[in-house]
Structure 1
Amino acid sequence: MKIPLLAFNDKGIYCQQADVYLDPWRPVTNAIISHGHADHSRWGHKNYITHHTNVPIIRHRLGEINVTGKDWNETFVINNVKFSLHPAGHIIGSAQIRVEHKDEVWVFTGDYKTEDDGIAVPYEVVKCNAFITECTFGLPAFKWQPQAEVMEDINNWWMENKAEGKTSVLFGYSLGKAQRLLKYLNPEIGTIFTHGAIENMTEVIRPMVDLPPTVRITKETKKDAFTGNMVLAPPSAHGSIWIRKMTPFVTGSASGWMAFRGGRRRRAIDKGFVLSDHCDWYGLLDSIKATGAEKIICTHGYTDILSKYLIELGYDARTAHTQYEEDEMDTKKEMEEEL
């Protein structure tokens, strides 16, 4: 019986021929990491390989690990298996992992998006026989607006709040989303303050990306300094004692989940902006078609719905369970009630 080039087991996605794991969720000897988010890059592996722009990011999160950085499209061989990293467009340093052995090519996307956000290297189509795709927003209901339109809405919202003498508090994940928002916030409107978690990560990324100036919020920051200005904070800060210092404030959230009716209400958010670092339904379908792959494996997200649709289109499609979805499942289950 032929051994598949990539297989799913209790530790992660495994290439037996090379004895290497892709984004493993349990400690292993050799790990190739697609990007820096915590569900994909975990502590405890003996050896890490990732794109060189992701090296400072995962070192910031994981400490002094043994990590090797690679360039885009650089081929490295392990036990006669060829590997290379290709832009995924998800966040800065995010990569698809291409695996080739005996004229068979598999591609693992990690997380990805096809819109060029001006920060991450844009997504690259990689031809393959088998394609492992995320399905975070794998429903026809998800269709994104262009980024420029969303950021214009956010800056207009900020100006409206400033005119009313209120602080704008905008929530986004500390790695990826926060820097994407920061890149396009208009500093001419006012000062951009940052929560410590966001500022720490932004300091790591700033040498690689041109970003507007920010001011870290500390215990010494005076309450009246926030009035009319912008505060970037992680979602975990919502409802905390920390945020009370910004009163009077208006809250906003930038997320693909804001596309659901009732998404803002469920999180007690005043304003929702639909901005995701993942593909929408149409981006997923276009990407899958462009690879030329016949075998599609759907992971983390709406796997059943996407795989069934792909089977109807004639693909050899199936689902596979991973632990990447753990950070997303509470949101996903909650929002499904809105369908």
Structure 2
Amino acid sequence: MIRFTDKGLYCPAGNFYIDPWQPVERAVITHAHSDHARAGSASYLCHHLTLPLLQLRLGNNHYQSVGWNEPVFINGVRLSLHPAGHIIGSSQVRLEHNGEVWVFSGDYKTEHDGLSGAFEPVRCHTFITESTFGLPIYTWKPQQVIYDDISNWIRNNQSHQKTSVLIAYSLGKAQRILEAVSAVTGNIYAHGAVYNVHETLQQAGIPLPDIRRVTPETPREQLKGSVVIAPPGAAESPWMKKFTPYAVGVCSGWMQVRGHARRSNVDAGFALSDHADWPGLLQAINATGAQKVFVTHGFQSALSRYLNEQGLEAAEVKTEYGNDEEITELKEENGIISEQAPETT
């Protein structure tokens, strides 16, 4: 059903690609992170909530959007999108042709975050899964526990008259952590890269708290004791000086590894991820009932080996996915997308 080519995942029967990393005639997009949604293709098919994000990041193109579980027939292939739970609008792609069903998960997480849509297991013959955190060491705490940790950290900073700077990818965690932040304060600011995504999602009807953009004109006095949400690229830039005195907290699944926050030279680390942990990956794979599993980006060797040991046919696949947020934030930091110019004040 799907071939793994040098342009991306190709469906010969339908003559389309899923999340191609090179320009193609027709691209089906799982979500708006830059490694899965790249510029240059002639047409794009995505979920309704992914559409405004693609328009923000890729500009004007020929777009078609559909809802979850809304079938589209392309050259005899029945295609439908299903919630992936990764970020707002993120979807799995189900393909059915001649009685055979394949599902490409894109990126996903199995804990419902209340914002991105709850992950929906889709029964299939063949499942293509990510493995970003495909090691047993990665087991997430419940989201609310992490949110409470973030809220308490902000309160502690406030008691010391410090601004709380939370480092979070502009598309995904930057929206999620607002629940934890707004439980403490409404005095919330954001880097322009975060603000542009936030504004786009609000205009699309996503109920998010109001935040303010940090500009060169923002008075320092207003920032004291506030919360500032910034992308990773801003963490060690001159832009940060405006918030002195401040404390920095990083929201990332990589914070699960002890000592990572210390090595990153930040004050706190919160192991909040938009990807499934090890139990989540196994749970999702098992729920599909798939007879064969292809494992893409991340710890694919470890996960595919484990699946084979459990009696499930699995194989590794090399793709150009992964490091999605890092690539995006680097571009945002340098004013390539989302910003007219980098913010350095």
TM-score (norm 1): 0.94
Are positions 1:311 and 2:318 aligned together? no
1:186 deviates by: 2.4
Judged with a 3 Å threshold, the aligned counterparts in structure 2 of structure 1 residues 190 and 159 are, in CA distance, closer, same or farther, namely farther
Are positions 1:256 and 2:288 aligned together? no
Match of 1:337 in 2: none
Counterpart amino acid of residue 172 in structure 1: A
- Maintained 8 Å contact 2:151/2:184: no
SS in 2 for 1:72: coil
Judged with a 3 Å threshold, the aligned counterparts in structure 2 of structure 1 residues 59 and 328 are, in CA distance, closer, same or farther, namely closer
SS in 1 for 2:182: coil
- Maintained 8 Å contact 1:296/1:317: yes
1:143 deviates by: 0.5
Tell me whether 176-185 or 243-252 shows the greater mean CA deviation.
Answer: 176-185
Are positions 1:219 and 2:226 aligned together? no
- Maintained 8 Å contact 1:190/1:228: no
- Give me the whole-angstrom Cα distance separating, in 2, the residues matched to 1:214 and 1:240: 22
How many percent identity over aligned positions?
A: 49
SS in 1 for 2:14: coil
Counterpart amino acid of residue 280 in structure 2: G
The Cα offsets for residues 119-158 of structure 1, whole Å up to 9 and x where unpaired, read as 1111001000000000000000000011111011101100
- Maintained 8 Å contact 1:187/1:212: no
Pick the aligned partner of 2:45 from 38, 45, 49: 49
Are positions 1:277 and 2:274 aligned together? yes
Are positions 1:210 and 2:176 aligned together? no
Are positions 1:235 and 2:232 aligned together? yes
Counterpart amino acid of residue 237 in structure 1: A
Counterpart amino acid of residue 171 in structure 2: L
1:166 deviates by: 0.5
- Maintained 8 Å contact 2:129/2:293: yes
SS in 1 for 2:96: strand
Counterpart amino acid of residue 262 in structure 2: R
SS in 2 for 1:53: coil
Judged with a 3 Å threshold, the aligned counterparts in structure 2 of structure 1 residues 40 and 53 are, in CA distance, closer, same or farther, namely same
| Unaligned runs of at least 5 residues, structure 2 | 328-345
Counterpart amino acid of residue 281 in structure 2: L
1:185 deviates by: 1.6
Counterpart amino acid of residue 59 in structure 2: G
The Cα offsets for residues 223-257 of structure 1, whole Å up to 9 and x where unpaired, read as 22211110000010011000011001000001100
1:202 deviates by: 0.2
1:98 deviates by: 0.3
Judged with a 3 Å threshold, the aligned counterparts in structure 2 of structure 1 residues 155 and 326 are, in CA distance, closer, same or farther, namely closer
**Which aligned pairs between 1:18-37 and structure 2 lie closer than 5 A?**
18-37=14-33
| Unaligned runs of at least 5 residues, structure 1 | 331-339
The Cα offsets for residues 304-327 of structure 1, whole Å up to 9 and x where unpaired, read as 000000000111100001101244
- Give me the whole-angstrom Cα distance separating, in 2, the residues matched to 1:209 and 1:79: 34
SS in 2 for 1:211: coil
**Which aligned pairs between 1:106-121 and structure 2 lie closer than 5 A?**
106-121=102-117
Match of 1:150 in 2: 146
- Maintained 8 Å contact 1:135/1:302: yes
SS in 1 for 2:50: helix
- Give me the whole-angstrom Cα distance separating, in 1, the residues matched to 2:207 and 2:147: 17
- Give me the whole-angstrom Cα distance separating, in 2, the residues matched to 1:187 and 1:197: 23
Are positions 1:296 and 2:303 aligned together? no
Pick the aligned partner of 1:17 from 5, 13, 17: 13
- Give me the whole-angstrom Cα distance separating, in 1, the residues matched to 2:106 and 2:184: 36
Pick the aligned partner of 1:177 from 173, 176, 185: 173
- Give me the whole-angstrom Cα distance separating, in 2, the residues matched to 1:130 and 1:221: 53
Are positions 1:125 and 2:128 aligned together? no
- Give me the whole-angstrom Cα distance separating, in 2, the residues matched to 1:35 and 1:83: 16
- Give me the whole-angstrom Cα distance separating, in 2, the residues matched to 1:188 and 1:143: 27
- Give me the whole-angstrom Cα distance separating, in 2, the residues matched to 1:326 and 1:256: 13
The Cα offsets for residues 180-237 of structure 1, whole Å up to 9 and x where unpaired, read as 1113322553511111110110001124322222111001011222111100000100
- Give me the whole-angstrom Cα distance separating, in 1, the residues matched to 2:159 and 2:296: 45
Match of 1:103 in 2: 99
Are positions 1:68 and 2:59 aligned together? no
Match of 1:161 in 2: 157
- Maintained 8 Å contact 1:258/1:273: yes
Counterpart amino acid of residue 74 in structure 2: I
TM-score (norm 2): 0.92
Judged with a 3 Å threshold, the aligned counterparts in structure 2 of structure 1 residues 142 and 114 are, in CA distance, closer, same or farther, namely same
Name the Cα RMSD after superposition: 1.3
Tell me whether 96-105 or 183-192 shows the greater mean CA deviation.
Answer: 183-192
